[in-house]
């Protein structure tokens, strides 16, 4: 009986929740390229949109 309780206790300690990007609300897209995970987050999307606006502003402001 003691062995079973000890075994179950050790088994439960080893069952930690693992991170998965599908469960993260801040992850918009993820992919694995050449054994490396690339994650595109909400903050990345905001930064890209700001860069697009800066680029558009620079075009409009450079015209005579």
The DSSP string of 1-64 is -HHHHHHHHHHHHH-PPPP-GGG-TTEEEEEEETTEEEEEEHHHHHHHHHHHHHHHHHHHHH--
pLDDT at 53: 96
pLDDT band at 9 (very low <50, low <70, confident <90, very high): low
Task: Record the pTM.
Answer: 0.63
* pLDDT digit string, tens, across residues 23-62: 999 999 999 999 999 999 999 999 999 999 999 999 988 7
Report domain extents, the chain. Answer: 18-62
């Amino acid at each position: 009986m003691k062995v079973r309780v000890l075994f179950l206790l050790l088994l439960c300690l080893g069952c930690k929740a693992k991170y998965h990007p599908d469960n993260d609300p801040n992850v918009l897209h993820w992919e694995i390229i050449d054994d490396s995970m690339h994650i595109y987050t909400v903050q990345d999307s905001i930064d890209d949109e700001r860069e697009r606006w800066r680029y558009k502003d620079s075009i409009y402001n450079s015209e005579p």
